[in-house]
Amino acid sequence: MRAVLASRNAHKARELERLLPGWQIDVLDADDYPPESGATYYENAHGKAEFARRRAPADAWVLGEDSGIEVDGLGGGPGVTSSRSAAGDEVGWMLGALAGARGDARRARYVSELVAIGPGGEELRGTGTLGGRIADEASGSEGFGFDPVFVPDGEERTVAELGDEWKARHSHRANAARALLREAG
């Protein structure tokens, strides 16, 4: 199945291609993405998918994905505003925001919302989460964004150390993709 992903993030396209076997995923070639101003991950993911629907070939599926990180010591933030808050320096922003925070204040979860719209307008969606905590310092080189400071539940290493193979099996995006595929039947 051919699909066009509305994202500037090439990491996401590579991850999704591994997560959706049989889907060939191209990144939408556009430089005028609308702002991510929705109140929920779903609104943003749906908005991205609709944007792609208007531009992608009529016979292709389109995909929109929105994700974020929710940290207990930050009142569940930055959540849906994660990319705007961290402004490209996710690791520096997070370590600064949690300076001096200990224990449960460092508990966190990644959230991913995935929306697919088919050639006839049919919609599939999937939500996925991954629980963990924010490390005291960054380590590892794989993944992107907050991965060098995110230690998943049951693990001692960060997602950036655990690597892309681990991420393809366990990440919030992997869980969202599985949920979407269940809907697809």
* CA dihedral of residues 163, 176, 10, 148 (deg, nearest 10): -40
CA distance 93 to 166: 25
- Per rule CB under 6 A, is residue 86 in the interface with ligand IMP? yes
Minimum CB distance to ligand IMP smaller for 86 or for 181: 86
Minimum CB distance to ligand IMP smaller for 85 or for 119: 85
Instruction: Name the segment binding ligand IMP (CB under 6 A); options: 19-27, 50-58, 119-127, 140-148.
Output: 140-148
Sequence-ordered strand ranges (E) for the chain: 2-5, 24-27, 61-71, 107-117, 123-134, 150-152
CA distance 162 to 100: 26
CA distance 66 to 43: 9
Separation of first and last alpha carbons in the chain: 14
- Per rule CB under 6 A, is residue 64 in the interface with ligand IMP? no
Q: Is 147 a catalytic residue?
A: no
Minimum CB distance to ligand IMP smaller for 16 or for 56: 16
- Per rule CB under 6 A, is residue 113 in the interface with ligand IMP? no
Pick the binder of ligand IMP from 145, 149, 158, 177 (CB under 6 A).
145
- Per rule CB under 6 A, is residue 146 in the interface with ligand IMP? yes
Return the amino acid letter for 134: I
**Site residue total, ligand IMP (CB under 6 A):** 18
DSSP state of 138: -
Please report, as ranges, the residues that interact with ligand IMP according to CB under 6 A.
9, 36, 66-69, 82-83, 86, 90, 110, 143-147, 171, 173
- List the catalytic residues: 66
